[in-house]
Amino acid sequence: MKIIIVGLGNVGQTLAVNLLEEGNSVTVVDLSSEKIKKITDKYDILGVVGNGATHTTLREAGISTADLLIAVTESDELNLLCCTIAKKTSKCHTVARVESPEYSTEVEYLKEGLGLAMVINPEEEGAKEICRLIRFPEALNIETFAKGKVELMKFRIPKDSSMIGLSVKEAMTRYKLNLLICTVERGEEAHIPNASFVFEENDIISIIASPRTAEAFYKKIGGRDIAIRDMMIVGVSELTQYVLKELHKSGINIKVIEGDLSVCEEICAKFDDATIIHGDGTEQELLIEEGIRQTDALLALSDTDEENILISLFAHRATGAKVITKINRPEYSTMTANLNLDTIIYPKNIASDRITRYVRSLGATEGNNVENLYSIIKGKIEVTEFVVGKLFPDLGVPLCELPLKENVILGAILRGRSLIIPHGQDCLMVGDHVVVVSKHLGIGEFRELFH
């Protein structure tokens, strides 16, 4: 597929590399010749220096023969203009990154009016993920599949848990819940465990289950049942505004600390149910004075990664609260892996995953589209949701007879309103939503998972 990406910020760079690795032909457009040179010298990517909102630049980038244009500059308006020009001059699909809260209620109108295939808002998607974690604070990450009926929940096995020392088979027999243990992270290693795999202290596991079953399982293995009543947010970014919007009337006491007085006044006018404090969130004395030691959750959501990391590290020492850290630069993931930062939200990675999912679905055959995509362990294991189509050759065949590739697990099937954690005698039907865990990255069609 021939793809043009306008904008080489964090999202654009991540997307360009991901889509290239999936076998697409990628051309990038940016005003910065330095950014263009850096990525084209390192990867087999074409680059055009110029304004992506002009017909001349898009023509030079090959818009007339492109299959898809993705506009992910820092300007919402520029992204929308790029897509409008692309639609006027070609038959390609268009995707626009639109982050401003002012446009959050206009998404459907923008898609219909401008003919956009997709509008992606990384900050809003990040806020939804944060709110899922507030509901279940002991989780490190929660991702939803199958229209919210299935959750993939990642958490560290609680200290002194009854699960330690058990094999997967023994654990499933003891706890008797309808779920799948799909991955285990142990140090630098990532496993898709078989029945004989034995759990150890400090293992990070991911399970696939209904939301209610996932919570019940965590309690059965010795996890704490914690409710968030008081929350502190340090830094006002667009992500902060989306979180405040999502948690409006939630009953949680929210305190926001921000160093810019004019921003404090703006947020105070928008969200009258939150307490807004004007002050420097990196000052430990201020955080202690405002109650960091008593709070149930600390969210470091400023636009400066380094500040967020420092605040989160202090919060870990000062409190037992749930700590969520926003990081803009995906390349920080390797450096922060050993910092014990609890939960990290990468809005740029969320945007990249959503757009990559859409690109895969464009290339899939009828009814075998990628419905959802989540990189559970970056570069190692993916979770993908497919919809089974009428062209799938093994409809009605028991799963135990299907030639699944190695390191692939069918984690859940949503059939109508029924959630099935599949076993060997279950069969696939047209319209099933199937959640798949796999070490085979870049799968675009369901049938690619079989020999």
pLDDT tens column, 228-260? 999 999 999 999 999 999 998 888 999 999 999
Residue at a domain's end among 314, 345, 376: 345
* Mean pLDDT, range 125-150, rounded to an integer: 87
On the question of pLDDT at 306 being above 80, the answer is: yes
Q: Are residues 111 and 8 in the same domain?
A: yes
Q: Evaluate whether 19 touches 359 at the Cβ level (below 8 Å).
A: yes
Greatest mean pLDDT among 283-292, 337-346, 388-397 lies in 283-292
Residue 252 and residue 312 in one domain: yes
> CA–CA separation, 197 vs 154, rounded Å?
18
pLDDT score recorded for residue 51: 95
Q: Tokens standing for 400?
A: 């135990």
Nearest residue to 305 via CA among 282, 288, 284:
282
Residue 129: inside a domain: no
Tell me: do 115 and 140 sit in the same domain. no
Its domain, for residue 179, covers 136-220
CATH of the domain at 375: 3.30.70.1450
Q: What number is the average pLDDT over the span 89-106?
A: 87
169 with 105, same domain: the answer is no
Give the single-character DSSP code of 128. Answer: H
Say if 356 falls within a structural domain: no
Contact between 323 and 316 (Cβ < 8 Å): yes
Same domain, 236 and 336: yes
Q: From 220, 254, 275, give the residue that closes a domain.
A: 220
The reply to whether 394 falls in a domain is: yes
pLDDT exceeds cutoff 90 at 144:
no
User: Who's near 410: CB < 8 A, 6+ residues apart?
Assistant: 399, 404, 422, 434, 435, 436
Range with lowest mean pLDDT among 30-34, 76-80, 290-294, 347-351: 347-351
pLDDT at 66: 95
Q: What is the mean pLDDT of the chain?
A: 89
Q: Tell me whether residue 58 is in a domain.
A: yes
CB neighbour burial string for 274-298, b if at least 16 within 10 angstroms, e if fewer: bebbebebbeeeebeebebeebbbb
241 CB neighbour count, 10 Å cutoff: 21
Kindly state whether residues 337 and 373 are assigned to the same domain: no
List pLDDT tens digits, range 155-179.
999 888 999 999 999 999 999 888 9
143 and 241 fall within a common domain: no
Q: Nearest to residue 8, comparing CAs of 68, 73, 86, 66?
A: 73
* Vertex 190 angle, CA 184 and 193, to 5°: 50
4 DSSP β-pair partners: 27, 69
In a domain, 359, yes or no: no
**pLDDT bracket for residue 364 (50, 70, 90):** low
Residue-wise pLDDT for 188-223, tens only, equals: 888 999 999 999 998 999 999 988 898 899 989 988
Asked if residue 239 and residue 209 are part of one domain, the reply reads no
Q: Are 188 and 298 members of one domain?
A: no
The pLDDT of residue 135 is 86
Give the pLDDT confidence score for residue 42 in this predicted structure: 95
- How does pLDDT run across 315-331, given as a tens digit for each residue? 998 988 999 999 988 77
Any domain includes 130: no
What mean pLDDT comes out for the span 402-424?
A: 89
Q: How many domains does the chain have?
A: 4
Indicate the pTM of the whole model. 0.81
Residue 111's pLDDT band (cuts 50, 70, 90): confident
- Do 47 and 114 have their domain in common? yes
Best CA proximity match to 257, nearest among 277, 287, 273: 277
Domain boundary among 194, 220, 246: 220
147 plus 89 within the same structural domain: no
Residue the block writes with tokens 């870049």:
442
Tokens for 160, please give them: 């002194």
Domain assignment of residue 163, yes or no: yes
As a whole number, mean pLDDT of residues 334-338 equals 74
User: What tens digit of pLDDT does each residue of 267-296 get?
Assistant: 999 998 899 999 999 999 999 999 999 999
pLDDT of residue 368: 53
Q: What confidence category does residue 369 fall into, taking pLDDT thresholds of 50, 70 and 90?
A: low
pLDDT of 367 over the 50 cut: no
Strand residues in 98-179 grouped as ranges (E): 118-120, 141-145, 150-156
Q: Average the pLDDT over 40-48 and give the result.
A: 96
51 and 94 together in one domain: yes
Q: Is residue 126 part of a domain?
A: no
What CATH number is given to the structural domain containing 252?
Answer: 3.40.50.720
CA distances from 110 to 158, 162, 257, 450 (A): 46, 52, 33, 39
Give me the mean pLDDT over the 335-348 stretch.
Answer: 82
